[in-house]
Chain A
Amino acid sequence: MKSFTYERAKTPAEAAGSVAKASGAKFLAGGTNLLDLMKLEIETPTHLVDVQDIGLDTIEKTKDGGLRIGALVTNTALASDQRIRRDYGVLSRAIVAGASGQLRNKATTAGNLLQRTRCPYFYDTNMACNKRQPGSGCAAIQGYSRQLGVIGTSDSCIATYPGDMAIALRVLDATIATVKPDGATRTIAMADFHRLPGDTPQFDTVLERGELITHVDLPRPIGGQHVYRKVRDRASYAFALVSVAAVIQPDGKVRAAFGGMAPKPWRVEAGEAGLHEDPAAAMETIFSGARPTEDNAFKIPLAQRALASAVAQTRS
């Protein structure tokens, strides 16, 4: 871990300003991802701006009947909130399917969205990795890629976004509110938040330098049955091989976003429409253009079965 200086910001604006000011500065929320990566010198910030004191730790009702989640709300607090459990069950379920109790107590909403990939070659600094060191190559391609992405990947990077919460946020059409160092704010749809790697896999999201996530906004509840089906090798404390966040309406209509498949939560609204009538055809649309490796081709049929299992679960 490289040396760094540390400060605690008092307000969102101050935090954004501090990160913009110092080159090599980063926000520190729970630290459960950033510190892990700093120990391995995958991340080497020279200055950390701790955001724990900037507020943004509540969940408020919005005017249009949705909820506004502060960026610093912990995973535990978010999953425990009665309104979330009642009206956005898929979100609560996705969160408790992730990491461990200890990690969820520390992990924040913003930090969770921004957690980096779990590609094993990204984690081993002796290996070439375009995401870690742009232009160095990608050791995962033709390597051990069982966990890696099947769609949305590129010739530069085949990693996945590994988290769970974001998959539920995607299916709920959440938006992300930010403030930039100059004070400008913007709203980013979940659909647009994580980037596909293309030639620049080092950028996971569309955030700019010093841009601080302040909130995640949920639109008004959409009803339906909420399921989060996470398929993994062990029963808990493991990243998904494949996961699906689904909301199933009484008329059988299904919304579904998939985790473990792509560099971002994978949802294709155009394909979704057919899910309740001809799931196989719909899944073909959703995963058309997939480029799996020999190791991870199983993820596509598994995703379909995970969804079928989720739907069946709501019927029983």
Chain B
Amino acid sequence: MEFKAPAETNLFDTAKIVGKSTPRIDGPLKTTGTAPYAYERHDVVANQAYGYVLGSAIAKGRITSMDVSEALAAPGVITVVTSPDSDIPGISSMNNARLFGGSEIAHYHQAIACVVAETFEQARSAAALIRTKYDREQGRFDFPALAPGAPLAKGRGGKPDEASLGDFDGAFAASAVKLDATYTTPDESHAMMEPHATIAAWEGDQLTLWTSNQMIAWGKKSMGEALGIDPENIRLDSPYIGGGFGGKLFIRADVLVAALAAKAAKRPVKVALQRPLMANNTTHRHATIQRIRIGAQTDGKITAIAHENWSGNINGEDGENGTLQTPVLYAGANRKTANYIATLDLPEGNAMRAPGEAPGHMALEVAMDELAEKLGIDPIELRIRNEPTSVPSKPEKRFSDRNLVRCLREGSQRFGWSDRQAEPGKVRDGQWLVGMGVAAGYRAAPTMKSAARVRLDGSGKVIVETDMTDIGTGSYTIIAQTAAETMGVSLDRVVVTLGDSRFPASSGSGGQWGAASSTAGVYAACVNLRRAIGEKMGFNGDDAVFADGRIRTGNQVVDLADAGSLSADGEITFGEFKRGYDVGTYAAHFAEVAVNAYTGEARIRRMLAVCDAGRILNPLSARSQVIGAMVMAAGAALMEELAVDKRFGLFINHDLAGYEVPVHADITRQDVVFLDTLDPIISPMKAKGVGELGICGPGAAIANAIYNATGVRVRDYPITLDKYFEKLPTIA
């Protein structure tokens, strides 16, 4: 099914199941510990051995020798696979660094060996017996020092990643009020709770990988590339994924070494990356430096806006582009964005939840707060005054549907914004200084082609099969809702099976495209199934009414069960017409933060997000996506930082005690409101994703609240107390 024109009125506009708050259908499994994650699948294949990964002790250079004799002789050891002895490509077209194979060391904790033993304990202790000698080279580890000389990144079609409209320099120079500020965001870790893990088993040349991966079809193709084998011989299965946030978009060392180790051991091998390896072995969100200049008239109208961004990566490509939202968010006739990238020898940077936009908002939305103060205009009002009517950087491009102003107004009212004291440092509560902050949020709403198979089993049950994944997003449930709605059955008559590469290829989970795309794909398959039923039973499936487990055509009513066993595949593809629109999601984020006047400890008191994301397929799980993203944004604003040791070239705080993420006590009240909007340009469902929208803005709202509380502006994230407590107003 090609989606080639804006959606018209359709069955989802009178939906009974889609759009209703629905507890997750996978809830009973997840809450009882019976949902099987990758490392736990004792039942899928017998005789599993344990693999343990050894990471490189240096960040840059080469292995000159590896002595595995002692490890091989250790009790229980079956085999040892080493990188220098592996001549596989070891990298896919989607990785920025080689995962395994060869003697070159490109980053710290790069996987250099996998020890396979009868037990986990044996594999772990044998790994420590491998003696590796290295030739260490100087590496490029100091991003702030290298950034000024960094070239422009490659943008679309390999062209330099910069864009401009009008005359920024002239307009900025002439503007009545100017802001010129530089912000930094640190390297961040996905730190999903389930480590990357895989069970690999070979049967002849057929490889099965029970793994934890967000993008099954990409993973299959990538594994073919990395192993140098035909991807058709590979099966991936990831029914449950213990968090990804972008960190499991691409294959990682676990799956590659598991495959190699299983081959060498001649039996199935299971591997989970040890937590202390994850930060340096896998990917992270790249640090950024962002300079923002905004020129405005005294009435707040922006006349000039420039956003320049620097980040770095191991291959000098694929950085963190903080400017992404800037061409879209605010009006202004003269504009400029530029995205520079340095080449580093730190571990591989790659996508993490709302890549680009998450740190981009942490800069832009603080800049807007600073500008509002300079102008003496309320920050909400300033944003409203700069609401564009078409895409500001491409005025010929329309917005599919944009309700940011409504978000801001609604949020202002609900949050009690009018109680905010514009002058900072004025609200005291005992030892605490209290402030409020706001930020706008924009996250693109892309769609990807997505396929599914829908079957009838003869008993009236509807079975959906697609390689779509559920990384906590609630895919199981929204897919079931979609199928139930379209096939006219109740939710409990739908069985959803996900994450198996033998099923039709879906959009996968990433870039906030999963919900919109995968449900549309399931809808397409359902439409085909309805037609197939019609053909079999002698009516036009498109005209029949499917409801309550029955099919009505004319004055004929039959049970769905009577259709017997039938199966149909379907795929949604998205047409050219979308190009004329910017399809995005919008939010207004609010935070109230208390800062201890003595110590600078910042504690969030409440948060609110008002979101505009089209139809909300399942308000219950969509809300969870947003609060979860708000938590991650709070972490980014207040505590998260992979600390770079610039001498050795590693993230030194590489475990969950050293890399602090928010805990329960950091998060108090969180409210989420969804506007009841519909976006006919996105898909037949008129629904957009929210999982990344939720992280675009709250960090800045928190930063702005800290400023409002204290009068001290910190432009370097995370806003830890050491950066400002000495500047806090003295206590009487």
Task: List 20 extra interface pairs beyond A120-B658, A124-B276, CB under 8 A.
Answer: A1-B124, A118-B658, A120-B654, A127-B648, A143-B645, A143-B647, A231-B599, A231-B601, A233-B639, A234-B660, A234-B665, A235-B666, A238-B657, A238-B660, A238-B663, A298-B722, A302-B722, A305-B599, A309-B598, A312-B431
A203: interface (CB < 8 Å): no
Bound form: Cα–Cα A40–B655 in Å? 12
B230: interface (CB < 8 Å): no
Number of interface residues of B (CB under 8 A): 43
When the two chains form their complex, are residues A313 and B124 in contact, meaning their CB atoms are under 8 A apart? no
When the two chains form their complex, are residues A235 and B603 in contact, meaning their CB atoms are under 8 A apart? yes
CB distance from A47 to the nearest CB of B (A): 16
Chain A 222-254 interface residues, beta-carbon cutoff 8 Å to B: 231-239, 241
Bound form: Cα–Cα A306–B601 in Å? 10
When the two chains form their complex, are residues B430 and A316 in contact, meaning their CB atoms are under 8 A apart? yes
Residues in A whose Cβ lies below 8 Å from that of B665: 234-237
Bound form: Cα–Cα A124–B653 in Å? 9
Bound form: Cα–Cα A235–B664 in Å? 8
Chain B 467-484 interface residues, beta-carbon cutoff 8 Å to A: none
Contact A301-B721, Cβ < 8 Å, known A2-B125, A234-B662, A235-B666 = no
B643: interface (CB < 8 Å): yes
Residues in B whose Cβ lies below 8 Å from that of A301: 725-726
Contact A124-B725, Cβ < 8 Å, known A234-B663, A308-B598, A309-B598 = no
* CB-based nearest B residue for A140: B652
Binding site for A on B (CB under 8 A): 57-58, 75, 121, 124-125, 128, 276, 430-431, 596, 598-599, 601, 603, 638-639, 643-645, 647-648, 650, 652-655, 657-658, 660-666, 718, 720-722, 725-726, 731
Chain A 107-148 interface residues, beta-carbon cutoff 8 Å to B: 118, 120-121, 123-124, 126-127, 139, 142-144, 146
When the two chains form their complex, are residues A142 and B660 in contact, meaning their CB atoms are under 8 A apart? no
When the two chains form their complex, are residues B598 and A121 in contact, meaning their CB atoms are under 8 A apart? no
* CB-based nearest B residue for A231: B599
Chain A 292-316 interface residues, beta-carbon cutoff 8 Å to B: 298, 301-302, 305-306, 308-309, 312-313, 316
Bound form: Cα–Cα A124–B718 in Å? 24
Contact check: which of A144, A237, A308, A316 meets B643 at CB < 8 Å? A144
A39: interface (CB < 8 Å): yes
A102: interface (CB < 8 Å): no
Bound form: Cα–Cα A39–B52 in Å? 12
CB distance from B118 to the nearest CB of A (A): 14
When the two chains form their complex, are residues A305 and B430 in contact, meaning their CB atoms are under 8 A apart? no
* CB-based nearest B residue for A312: B431
When the two chains form their complex, are residues A305 and B598 in contact, meaning their CB atoms are under 8 A apart? yes
Contact A234-B639, Cβ < 8 Å, known A120-B658, A126-B57, A143-B645 = yes
> Of residues B121, B598, B638, B725, which shows the largest number of chain A Cβ atoms within 10 Å of its Cβ?
B598
When the two chains form their complex, are residues B638 and A234 in contact, meaning their CB atoms are under 8 A apart? yes
> Of residues A3, A39, A239, A305, which shows the largest number of chain B Cβ atoms within 10 Å of its Cβ?
A305
Binding site for B on A (CB under 8 A): 1-3, 39-41, 118, 120-121, 123-124, 126-127, 139, 142-144, 146, 231-239, 241, 298, 301-302, 305-306, 308-309, 312-313, 316
Residues in B whose Cβ lies below 8 Å from that of A121: 652
Bound form: Cα–Cα A235–B593 in Å? 13
Contact A3-B125, Cβ < 8 Å, known A123-B655, A298-B722, A309-B598 = yes
* CB-based nearest A residue for B430: A316
10 intermolecular pairs with C-beta atoms under 8 Å apart? A41-B125, A120-B652, A143-B648, A235-B603, A235-B666, A236-B664, A238-B657, A239-B657, A309-B598, A312-B731
When the two chains form their complex, are residues A309 and B125 in contact, meaning their CB atoms are under 8 A apart? no
> Of residues B75, B643, B726, which shows the largest number of chain A Cβ atoms within 10 Å of its Cβ?
B643
Bound form: Cα–Cα A41–B121 in Å? 12
Residues in B whose Cβ lies below 8 Å from that of A1: 121, 124-125
Residues in A whose Cβ lies below 8 Å from that of B644: 144
* CB-based nearest B residue for A41: B128
CB distance from A137 to the nearest CB of B (A): 12
Contact check: which of A3, A123, A143, A309 meets B599 at CB < 8 Å? A309
Bound form: Cα–Cα A233–B723 in Å? 12
When the two chains form their complex, are residues B431 and A313 in contact, meaning their CB atoms are under 8 A apart? yes
CB distance from A238 to the nearest CB of B (A): 6
When the two chains form their complex, are residues B721 and A302 in contact, meaning their CB atoms are under 8 A apart? yes
When the two chains form their complex, are residues B599 and A144 in contact, meaning their CB atoms are under 8 A apart? no
Bound form: Cα–Cα A118–B657 in Å? 9
Bound form: Cα–Cα A301–B727 in Å? 11
Bound form: Cα–Cα A143–B644 in Å? 9
Bound form: Cα–Cα A155–B430 in Å? 42
When the two chains form their complex, are residues A236 and B663 in contact, meaning their CB atoms are under 8 A apart? yes
Contact check: which of A3, A41, A233 meets B720 at CB < 8 Å? A233
Bound form: Cα–Cα A313–B597 in Å? 12
* CB-based nearest B residue for A142: B647
When the two chains form their complex, are residues B599 and A124 in contact, meaning their CB atoms are under 8 A apart? no
When the two chains form their complex, are residues B599 and A302 in contact, meaning their CB atoms are under 8 A apart? yes
Residues in A whose Cβ lies below 8 Å from that of B601: 231-232
Residues in A whose Cβ lies below 8 Å from that of B645: 139, 143-144
When the two chains form their complex, are residues B722 and A146 in contact, meaning their CB atoms are under 8 A apart? yes
CB distance from B592 to the nearest CB of A (A): 15
Contact A231-B721, Cβ < 8 Å, known A40-B276, A127-B648, A306-B598 = yes
* CB-based nearest B residue for A2: B125
When the two chains form their complex, are residues A120 and B720 in contact, meaning their CB atoms are under 8 A apart? no
When the two chains form their complex, are residues B643 and A146 in contact, meaning their CB atoms are under 8 A apart? yes
Bound form: Cα–Cα A157–B319 in Å? 37
CB distance from B558 to the nearest CB of A (A): 57
* CB-based nearest A residue for B639: A233
Contact check: which of B124, B599, B638, B653 meets A39 at CB < 8 Å? B124
Residues in B whose Cβ lies below 8 Å from that of A309: 431, 596, 598-599
Contact check: which of B75, B599, B653, B662 meets A120 at CB < 8 Å? B653
Residues in B whose Cβ lies below 8 Å from that of A312: 431, 598, 731
When the two chains form their complex, are residues A237 and B647 in contact, meaning their CB atoms are under 8 A apart? no
> Of residues B599, B601, B650, which shows the largest number of chain A Cβ atoms within 10 Å of its Cβ?
B599
Bound form: Cα–Cα A313–B124 in Å? 49
Residues in A whose Cβ lies below 8 Å from that of B596: 309
Bound form: Cα–Cα A40–B658 in Å? 15
When the two chains form their complex, are residues A305 and B663 in contact, meaning their CB atoms are under 8 A apart? no
> Of residues B431, B655, B664, B722, which shows the largest number of chain A Cβ atoms within 10 Å of its Cβ?
B722
When the two chains form their complex, are residues B431 and A237 in contact, meaning their CB atoms are under 8 A apart? no
When the two chains form their complex, are residues A124 and B431 in contact, meaning their CB atoms are under 8 A apart? no
Q: Which 7 A-B pairs have the closest CB atoms?
A: A309-B598, A235-B665, A236-B665, A126-B57, A298-B722, A305-B598, A144-B643
> Of residues A121, A126, A143, which shows the largest number of chain B Cβ atoms within 10 Å of its Cβ?
A126
Bound form: Cα–Cα A168–B251 in Å? 49
Contact A143-B125, Cβ < 8 Å, known A234-B638, A305-B599, A312-B431 = no
Contact check: which of A40, A144, A231, A233 meets B652 at CB < 8 Å? A144
Residues in B whose Cβ lies below 8 Å from that of A120: 643, 652-654, 658
CB distance from B160 to the nearest CB of A (A): 35
Residues in A whose Cβ lies below 8 Å from that of B121: 1
